[in-house]
Amino acid sequence: MSLAESRSPSQSPAAELDGGDRDCGSGLLLSLTSAMRRIGQGQVLLLHTREPSVLADLPAWARLAGHQLVDVSEAGQGAGSWLLSIRRGEAAPPSAADTGGFTQGEAPALGTRLWLYSNFHCNLGCSYCCAGSSPRAPARLMPVELAVSAAREFVAQGGEELLVTGGEPFLHPSLGALLGETSALVPVTLLTNAMIFSRGARRETLESLDRDAVTLQVSLDSAGPELHERQRGAGSHAKALAGIQLARRLGFRVRVAATLFPEDVGDAAQLHAALDELGIEADDRLIRPVAEEGFAENGVHISLETVEPEPTLAVDGAWWHPVGVTNDALKVADSPLPLSETLEVMRDVVAVQAAGERQGRSVFRCT
């Protein structure tokens, strides 16, 4: 029996999307929003799904997004799957600006900050690494030309800060060129473990960077070696400290980020005391929780509802947030460019989230 909000004459779909077993909180929403943007106004998308909760969530999503759910029917007798026909509305969903944005606290406005994964291999194999990086991970190197193209498009759309992460970026053979060209366009924060840039070609890369345009953010989880090395490996603490001291001697602004499980937050006071001695300003310190992604088997659950949207590009796609880069449910696009398409999808999702919140309900189910 059809569950459609309204019936209309049959119309051949302009596109089809296989939603599989995904619900609106585990990746379907991003894929659906992107697919709707690729068809014309008035055209129909045919969604195939095996997830029963979609039948409850899609009517609300379609209404809030400005589309029309034309028909819902069973794909086959007792098959446990459904076909949903969705007609694209005459007007695009409201922008984030129209709905008061999606920032909370100190979170940056969507589109002002962009993350680039320069690579995914690393000299460490941290137990909680959200990117699944290690010495054995595929490099997935971002070409310099791709990074520069992304930075140019980002700046043209009002972007303000580029963050380059990994893996360990100093393993990228062309990191100097990548940072040199992108930092000439927009301020860059480079995330590093600070362990491998003290000598040789990597030292030359470090010294070549513009101190006024590049900030280093170094990972340091504790004042002493025990906790840091339990999470990051033997000998890593002393090398990270030496890297921080070298970067400061060379005139870089250095931020320090600690990644902690709840049971280890009590050690933060000692870490702050150590950072005082190192001369790290209070505004340049960050304590962040472990995310249940990548190598981490527990931590903060990451979904469209639990993290602010921070567009993230790698050589093989675009994601909702940098900590979700191993999570297919948070993948926005299979190609990193054009950046504008990724931002449009994310803004559409944010607008529907905001509209749902104004009506006092959540339309996105998270498992």
* Cα 197 → chain centroid: 26
Question: pLDDT tens per residue, the chain (367 residues)?
Answer: 344 444 444 579 999 999 999 988 778 989 999 999 999 999 999 999 999 999 988 998 998 899 999 999 998 756 689 999 999 997 555 443 333 332 234 568 899 999 999 999 999 999 999 999 999 999 999 999 999 999 999 999 999 999 999 999 999 999 999 999 999 999 999 999 999 999 999 999 999 999 999 999 999 999 999 999 999 999 999 999 999 999 999 999 999 999 999 999 988 999 999 999 999 999 999 999 999 999 999 999 998 888 899 999 999 999 999 999 999 999 999 999 999 999 999 999 999 888 888 876 555 433 2
Strand order in the sheet with 161-165: 285-289, 254-260, 214-219, 188-192, 161-165, 113-117, 312-314, 317-319, 331-333
At 4 the pLDDT is 41
Give the angle 347-164-260 at the CA atoms, nearest 5°.
90
Give me the amino acid identity at 299.
G
Residue 133 DSSP class: -
Residue of 25, 76, 14 whose CA lies nearest to 47? 14
**Is 247:194 a contact under the CB 8 Å cutoff?**
yes
d(Cα 162, Cα 175) in Å, to the nearest integer?
Answer: 14
Helix axes 175-183, 144-156, angle to 10 degrees: 20
Residue of 339, 346, 351 whose CA lies nearest to 96? 351
**Which CATH number is 108-336's, of 3.20.20.70, 3.90.650.10, 2.60.40.10, 3.30.470.30?**
3.20.20.70
- What ranges do the domains of the chain cover? 15-93+349-358, 108-336
Q: What is the pTM of this model?
A: 0.87
Helices and strands (DSSP H and E) totals, the chain: 9, 13
At 285 the pLDDT is 96
**Is 142:157 a contact under the CB 8 Å cutoff?**
no
Fold of 15-93+349-358: Translation Initiation Factor IF3 (3.30.110)
Strand order in the sheet with 82-87: 15-18, 44-49, 82-87, 68-74
**Cα 146 to Cα 121, 151, 281, 311, 336, distances in angstroms:** 18, 9, 34, 15, 9
